[in-house]
Amino acid sequence: MSRVRRSGTAPELALRRALWAAGLRYRLNMRHRLPGSPDILFVGARLAVFVDGCFWHGCPEHGTQPKTRADFWAQKIARNRARDVEDDARLRAEGWRVLRVWEHEVTADPSAIVERVTVLLAEVTR
């Protein structure tokens, strides 16, 4: 477990490259200031983006349940999902908008996520 990356995962890096290539500039390393440690921040637009791992956050399409220590993992994933909901609520209470994407969405088509981010950023400038 100590080798599982908290940030800088392949899907996160792929999304960051796609956002940068589209001319969208974001911030990193402000995790200590915000609930939930967002992966990517658009500070001016107050948009927090999370790239959730399918296993760790219980993706309905790709999430798997381990056969060993099944109770432990079921509780762990349930706690992760509950914490995600709480963090989203805290961010929204602080005036942030939250976008959560699954790692499989980024892997399949990062440009689709870039379009979603672009739409959310455009809503701020209206």
- Tell me the domain boundaries of the chain: 10-125
- Cβ(26)–Cβ(121) below 8 Å: no
User: How far apart (Å, rounded) are the C-alpha atoms in residues 54 and 13?
Assistant: 16
Q: Report pLDDT for 88.
A: 97
pLDDT at 2: 46
* pLDDT tens-digit series, residues 41-98: 999 999 999 999 998 888 988 877 888 988 999 999 999 999 999 999 999 999 999 9
- The number of helices, as runs of H, and strands, as runs of E, in the chain is 4, 3
% of the chain at pLDDT higher than 90? 67
The fold of 10-125 is Endonuclease; Chain A (3.40.960)
